[in-house]
Chain A
Amino acid sequence: MSAAGSIRIIAIVGGSAAFLIGASIFLAAIGRPPLATLSQMVLYAFGDSYSLSESLVKATPILLCALAVILPARLGLITVGGEGQLYFGALTGTAVVIALPAAPMVVLLPAMLLAGAIGGGAWSGIAGLLRARCNVNETISTLLMNYVAVLLVNYVIYGAWKDPASLGWPATMMFPPAAIVPSVFGTRAHVGLIVGIAAAVVLHISVTHTRWGIALRVLAGNRKVAAMAGFSFVKQTLLVMALGGALAGFAGICETSAIQGRLQAGISVGYGLTGFLVAWLSGQNFLRAIPIAILIGGLIAAGDALQLYSKIPSASATIMQGLLFVAALGASGLAGRGTARHG
């Protein structure tokens, strides 16, 4: 077996073990039987078709946000802006619905989705432009812009776009049926999931088998040599940031339309951040991000179910995510170091 393959297996086994231990300690500490609770979580996540569909619903924005992290990472950029891009895409997508509430579905739905993607792409593109032109670190700019995007959404839902009929609840009007993203397989899961999986496959093929993929690898490896070969860092930075942001923005408008039915606060429960986590767990690999996003989606769905049925606060799912991330990072780092030393 290749060295990289064995590193991966050690990392997965070690990481899972460390996560299970950590999660058990946490559950025991809050007075829950660890094993019973954990197996209950698996059931809540994937036990029946309803649970599975809820997990897929959660997995959709996570997957799209993970892709929005992985694509820039192929150029060596570390963005943490999925959350902001998601919110801004929701904002611009909703703007179309507000502007054309009576338009027929063939016009409204594509226009809304496109506007969402463009909004997310533009929001992320700003960070890309700052990076490419002014050398502003993209990690910091995307982190800060997350907060601004959330506040901008709050601004419109508490202000101009607030639906007077919602009795003080800060939200826009309900989207007309023509602006509702269709669901698939007769569940709550929606078209966004299909788009996410398709995007992952297309992006994977693009970066591994095309000249564009070579351009990204050369640029990520040596900017100087890339310039000699005629690859532009500025152009590619803008491209990957905008494309990634578009995916996250698309996730945002899908959540707004298919899940919430209107723009309101809390359209995302940290999907952007969770997407970042998934991107790292996948080793910045588009295809591996798909199952991992579904797993994490299951974890979040199970957290919601636990809160509903067992009165365990949903913050425990965040803690579990943190533990999982810590365990995975630690295990893959250790596995990589172990082989580096002996190799």
Chain B
Amino acid sequence: MAETEALAIAGSWVAAMLRSSTPLMMVTLGETLTQRVGIVNLGVEGQMLCGACVGFAVAAATGSPVLGFAAGATAGLLLSFVHATLCLGCDANQIGSGIAVFTLGLGLSSYFGRSAIGGKVAGLAPLADNSFADALFVGPILTQLTAIAPFAILVVLIAGLWLYRTRTGLNWRITGESFQTARALGIRPLLVQAQGILVGGLLSGFAGAILSVDYTQTWANEMTKGRGFVAVGLVIVARWNPFLVLPVVLLFGLSEAATLRLQATGLTLSPYLISCLPYLVCLGCVIIVAVREGRIGGMPAELASVFGRRR
């Protein structure tokens, strides 16, 4: 019987891990694609907040979580347009511009999200109804997860294939490696970079909407709690590779699920200390990658001007 019990526990862990990592998966993927074209966008945090706020409001108003996701993604896209305009149109510094976008997103979401505070939405239906709850291992997964988790994994896989196995993906990677070479090859690098920023915006807005509509099903000010910034760190850990985003984010989700479980077991540790863990785990991963590689491995060369290069 111990075996069945272990499987049941494993199932609920997998479910918890997937649930908490789905938003992060999307925002990390988005930032990965943005950085792949040689642009850093710290505004993802603000875009995620706007996505969460708008997504929640639309889902609450229409009763449709799908419309909520779409609206959230659109909000993220629109806000990332500011970053694209500043960085590409005005040659502004990317870090500065990212913080500006974050500030704007923070302000806009807290301002317009006031009326939504305390509301509740119905998220997507679970993959299976409660009659499956007792099914071994898959039971908790099917009953606790919605369609959004498998969808997100699919998006990551498609993005990876697209980046590594299509001509457009190759053009994106060339742009991120060398703006000049891209231009010489007849690619329009500015256009590619704009696309990279906007896709990142779309995905971060979507991530925000997943967080508010599907995961917590509420809206609160600053509810993303730095997940966007964590994503920027995880992009480095995943070495700018969409396929690696998956394991990295899932491991991260596992640590988050673990902290939630720890709290649930009545551990006497303060919840505030436990809440530090995700940030410390992220920082630790970034440090390990930096030490192990000696330099930041796999970094698109155009990022060196923003991120600095070891010399």
Contact = CB atoms under 8 A, between A and B. Distances in A.
Interface in B81-124: 82, 85-86, 89-93, 95-97, 99-108, 110-111, 114
B310 A330 contact: no
Interface in A130-151: 130, 134-137, 139-141, 143-148, 151
A313 B108 CA distance: 11
A296 to B, nearest CB: 12
A76 B106 contact: no
B232 A318 contact: no
Interface stretch (B147-155, B182-190, B276-284): B276-284
Given A144-B229, A330-B92, A135 B107 contact: no
Given A147-B279, A321-B103, A330-B85, A141 B286 contact: yes
B287 A277 contact: no
A315 B103 contact: no
B296 interface: yes
B91 A334 contact: yes
Given A135-B295, A326-B104, A336-B91, A145 B310 contact: no
B38 to A, nearest CB: 16
User: In which size bucket is the chain A interface?
Assistant: 35 or more
User: In which size bucket is the chain B interface?
Assistant: 35 or more
Question: DSSP class of A's interface residues: helix, strand, loop or mixed?
Answer: helix
Given A136-B290, A140-B236, A154-B272, A330 B90 contact: yes
B270 interface: yes
A147 B225 contact: yes
A316 B111 contact: yes
Given A145-B279, A147-B226, A137 B272 contact: no
Contacts of B101: 322, 326
Question: Which 7 interchain pairs have the tightest Cβ spacing?
Answer: A322-B104, A318-B107, A319-B107, A333-B90, A325-B100, A315-B110, A322-B103
10 contacts: A78-B95, A137-B296, A140-B229, A144-B280, A273-B103, A276-B99, A277-B99, A322-B108, A325-B103, A336-B91
Given A155-B272, A333-B86, A334-B89, 17 more contacts: A80-B99, A134-B290, A135-B290, A139-B95, A144-B282, A145-B279, A147-B279, A277-B99, A280-B99, A313-B114, A321-B103, A322-B108, A329-B96, A331-B90, A333-B91, A334-B90, A336-B91
Interface of A: 30, 76-78, 80, 130, 134-137, 139-141, 143-148, 151-152, 154-155, 158-159, 223-224, 270, 273, 276-277, 280, 313, 315-323, 325-326, 329-334, 336-337
